[in-house]
Structure 1
Amino acid sequence: MQTKIRPKEILHHRNRRLKRVTLFAVWVGLMYVVYWWTLNQDRVSTDDAFVMGHLIPLKAQTDGIVIEILTENTQYAQKGEVLVRLDGVHAQIALQEAEAELGEIVRNLVSLTAKVDTLKQRIIAKQAALNQVRHDLDRFKAAAHDGAVSDQQVQNTQDKIRELEAVIRENQAEKNSVEAQIAGIPIDNHPATEKAKSRVRAAFLNFQRRNIVAPVSGYVAKRKVEVGDSVKPGVPLLAIVPLDDLWVDANFLETQVADIRPGQTADIRVDAYGNDLIYHGIVQGISPGTGSTFALLPTDNATGNFIHVAERVQVRIGLNPEELEENPLQPGLSTVTRINIRDAGWPLLASNVSVAGDAYRTGIYQHELDGVEQRIQQIIASNKRMADSGGGGVDG
């Protein structure tokens, strides 16, 4: 039996299904709006936010040729670990030259001290000779009245007295000149010795810095140096990135920052991990100026036509160290950051950025001169001993 087609009934069923679909779509839309409003009514968000960290450059500190590279990109470097070695030939030559100069100066000062003693004895000897000649002159003058001594002999004696007095004055002037150079200061603390000591310390420091060490612990990146490179002080070799001290720099529109305060909590989604992983942070501080203020070429709105552009203010958000340890991040990663402005937070100009981490200080350079003072004292003592004994050569 053939079924009779009823167009009106079919149209009625279709309209009913369409209404149901439409009502369901409207209901889903309303639920989403309610969810979005509930989730975001007390939050401000931006996708102009990036993970930031310390990029610590490692540069050459002395001249030399690279003879060994002990690290590579992506490797972890411990604080104080030697990463690059230079030949240090020029630094070693300079150190030997400075040590020889110190030894030479010490010997010269010992010689000057001995010369003062020599001049003292010479003056005493000439003074004794002068006294004897004066006594002779008195006797010659007494005998001259009786004709026992000629006038010529008296005159010669007087000339001899003037000669001895001149020699004594000359020796005294030379002694004063030498004493002025010594100035009554011990050889170990003499200005010339101190100057030579400083040159030895500087040369020793350059020699020690042929081994380039990591100032902080972190991962190696941007290695530029190669074996055989001739480097000068200040030439960048590589960078070290400590991944345990990261934060987020989030750039919010100026219309969003009115309620942002340091101390408020933040949720961060990193694009690299998707929406399933959420990092929790705390607002550490707000930049004292907009991005255009610190630009290389700041805009000058006093010239030409003005077009209003919404500025952005940078907000620094600290990350949870435990979450970073579980799911490491790298500087430069993009994020979507939301700040909970419902939290009261702290005053607007407050900042809880900590500078207590290793990225803000290092102690590896404090012991670079260890051993140099003993080396200097050894050079001084050996050269004083050699000079006193009349030995030849400069002992470095």
Structure 2
Amino acid sequence: MLGLVAFGVLFWALFLRNWVVTNDAYVTGNVAPVKSQVAGTVVEVCVEETERVEKGQTLVRLDGLKSWVALRKAEADLAAAVRRVENLFSQVSRLRHRIEEEKAALGRYRYDLGLYRGGTATGVISEQQSVDAQWKVQETEQAIAALEAELRGNEALVQGTTVETNPLVLQAAQAVRDAWLDWYRRNVPSPVTGYVARRTVQPGDQITPEKLLMTVVPLDYIWVVANFRERELGRMRPGQPVVLKSDLYGWGVRYHGVVEGLEPGSGSVFSLLPPDNATGNYVHIVERVPVRIRLDPKELERHPLVLGLTMVTSVHLTRVDRSIRSPITEVPRKAREADYESKIYLQELTAIEGRIRKIIEANRNRKGDAPAPPAGGRSGP
């Protein structure tokens, strides 16, 4: 009997004391929510639960008639803005010609006024003719001043710009982009590649951007979160090896992983109502701290897992010269591109840019009668 006890103590000292085991461990991973970016009426649900979908694949279609009408109006407003700006350039050109014409007339009237004043002094020209010439000079000077004021007002709307860069056209172009996004987003895409779960949307639903339509679960990158008691964490460090078993496959299948890091708090700290122990009826409760464990992707490929499965987790407390504040958590490059990036939303404006350029070109003044301001500026009367 003493020999059996001694063997047990020796076995514990050599092997078991360097292992910590918990069955409070679960498979987890990313869960991508699918929501619409615009409000509308659902006209088609394209997928069903458990179906595999690719990133960018259309999952839900919304009625797009109202957004289509708004887009056509915005395009018409853009065409009108281009023509309005072209008209402003033409008015600037016309006003410059009018001012030059009035300045030429002013020069002639001033010349006539000089002759009339000389003729009046000698009695050849009547005093009335000299006075009329003086009034013509003053009227022409005031007309030039009014035209120059009008010219400055029109130049303020077009100076330093072209038709494409004029604020009126840019504002109208932005309205087209906004209307395009409302129309384009009638098709709700999948943000990642994965499997559909928790579908709640039905044809005919009136949805808003806050409504969860379904979720997409990518299973190409998953990990395990094991909750160890705080007294078991004294020697646990990132980088230590882990052996795991899932009830899905039984004891015949083992997974091998590695501790990536310890979360910076126990589960209760992040709960909806965090603990407040500064009370008179405090009860000591042993806390558990979540530990993130990386799985071997080759073993996962041979024996796939799904989220939420329980795992029996055994961590070998080997010596690792690493602090718990130095995790080795790292998302694989392939998983980052697949599950942590969704650039499909950055390409939504690609198609409309060409359409905007075509609308601007179609409504341009091709005769080119909008000259640039003179290099030396305007001269006074």
Q: TM-score, normalised by structure 2?
A: 0.88
Match of 1:352 among 318, 328, 344: 328
After superposition, residues 71-82 of structure 1 pair within 5 angstroms as 71-82=47-58
Q: Say which is worse superposed, 280-289 or 28-37, in terms of deviation.
A: 28-37
1:19 aligned partner: none
Residue 275 (str. 1) matches residue 257 (str. 2): no
Return the offset for 1:28.
9.8
2:310 aligned partner: 334
Cα shift readout 1:34-79 (whole Å, capped 9, x = no counterpart): 8787763321011211111111101101232212111110011112
1:248–1:318 CA contact under 8 A, matched in 2: yes
Return the offset for 1:154.
1.9
Q: 1:36 to 1:81 in 2, by over 3 A?
A: farther
Residue 324 (str. 1) matches residue 300 (str. 2): yes
Whole-angstrom CA distance in 1 between matches of 2:95 and 2:37: 49
2:60 aligned partner: 84
Q: Say which is worse superposed, 201-210 or 338-347, in terms of deviation.
A: 338-347
Q: 1:344 to 1:143 in 2, by over 3 A?
A: closer
1:262–1:345 CA contact under 8 A, matched in 2: no
Whole-angstrom CA distance in 2 between matches of 1:201 and 1:140: 65
1:215 aligned partner: 191
Cα shift readout 1:188-208 (whole Å, capped 9, x = no counterpart): 112222222222222222322
Q: 1:30 to 1:94 in 2, by over 3 A?
A: farther
Residue 128 (str. 1) matches residue 108 (str. 2): no
Residue 62 (str. 1) matches residue 42 (str. 2): no
2:287 aligned partner: 311
Q: 1:254 to 1:182 in 2, by over 3 A?
A: same
State the SS of the aligned residue for 1:111.
Answer: helix
2:86–2:365 CA contact under 8 A, matched in 1: no
Amino acid at match of 1:119: L
State the SS of the aligned residue for 1:80.
Answer: coil
Q: Say which is worse superposed, 81-90 or 258-267, in terms of deviation.
A: 81-90
State the SS of the aligned residue for 2:210.
Answer: coil
Return the offset for 1:341.
1.0
Whole-angstrom CA distance in 2 between matches of 1:298 and 1:122: 78
Whole-angstrom CA distance in 2 between matches of 1:39 and 1:122: 102
Q: 1:278 to 1:193 in 2, by over 3 A?
A: same
Return the offset for 1:27.
10
Return the offset for 1:386.
7.5
Residue 102 (str. 1) matches residue 82 (str. 2): no
2:373 aligned partner: none
Amino acid at match of 1:367: Q
Aligned length: 365
1:48 aligned partner: 24
Residue 376 (str. 1) matches residue 363 (str. 2): no
> Following TM superposition, where does structure 1 have runs of at least 4 consecutive aligned residues deviating by more than 6 angstroms?
26-38, 386-389
Whole-angstrom CA distance in 2 between matches of 1:44 and 1:55: 29
State the SS of the aligned residue for 1:371.
Answer: helix
Q: 1:224 to 1:208 in 2, by over 3 A?
A: same
2:181–2:348 CA contact under 8 A, matched in 1: yes
Whole-angstrom CA distance in 2 between matches of 1:41 and 1:145: 129
Gaps of 5+ in 1: 1-22, 390-396
1:78–1:217 CA contact under 8 A, matched in 2: yes
Whole-angstrom CA distance in 2 between matches of 1:27 and 1:86: 76
Return the offset for 1:33.
8.6
Cα shift readout 1:7-30 (whole Å, capped 9, x = no counterpart): xxxxxxxxxxxxxxxx9xx99999
Whole-angstrom CA distance in 2 between matches of 1:385 and 1:175: 20
Gaps of 5+ in 2: 370-381
Whole-angstrom CA distance in 1 between matches of 2:347 and 2:59: 18
Residue 247 (str. 1) matches residue 223 (str. 2): yes
State the SS of the aligned residue for 1:145.
Answer: helix
Amino acid at match of 1:262: P
Amino acid at match of 2:217: V
Amino acid at match of 2:343: G
Residue 183 (str. 1) matches residue 163 (str. 2): no
Q: 1:46 to 1:227 in 2, by over 3 A?
A: same
Cα shift readout 1:256-310 (whole Å, capped 9, x = no counterpart): 0111111111122223333332222211111111222222222222221322111
Q: 1:360 to 1:41 in 2, by over 3 A?
A: same
Whole-angstrom CA distance in 1 between matches of 2:218 and 2:270: 26
Residue 367 (str. 1) matches residue 347 (str. 2): yes
Whole-angstrom CA distance in 2 between matches of 1:229 and 1:388: 53
State the SS of the aligned residue for 2:347.
Answer: coil
Whole-angstrom CA distance in 1 between matches of 2:13 and 2:250: 22
Q: TM-score, normalised by structure 1?
A: 0.85
Amino acid at match of 2:362: S
Cα shift readout 1:194-250 (whole Å, capped 9, x = no counterpart): 222222222222322222111211000011111112222232211000112111111
- The share of aligned pairs that are identical, in percent, is 39
State the SS of the aligned residue for 1:177.
Answer: helix
Whole-angstrom CA distance in 2 between matches of 1:73 and 1:193: 46
Cα shift readout 1:109-162 (whole Å, capped 9, x = no counterpart): 110110011111111111122222222222222222343332222222211211
After superposition, residues 227-266 of structure 1 pair within 5 angstroms as 227-266=203-242
1:247–1:316 CA contact under 8 A, matched in 2: yes
Match of 1:286 among 247, 251, 262: 262
Whole-angstrom CA distance in 1 between matches of 2:259 and 2:165: 56
Cα shift readout 1:352-388 (whole Å, capped 9, x = no counterpart): 2223312111222232222222211111111114797
2:127 aligned partner: 151
Amino acid at match of 1:66: V
Whole-angstrom CA distance in 2 between matches of 1:112 and 1:361: 46
Amino acid at match of 2:114: D
2:376 aligned partner: none
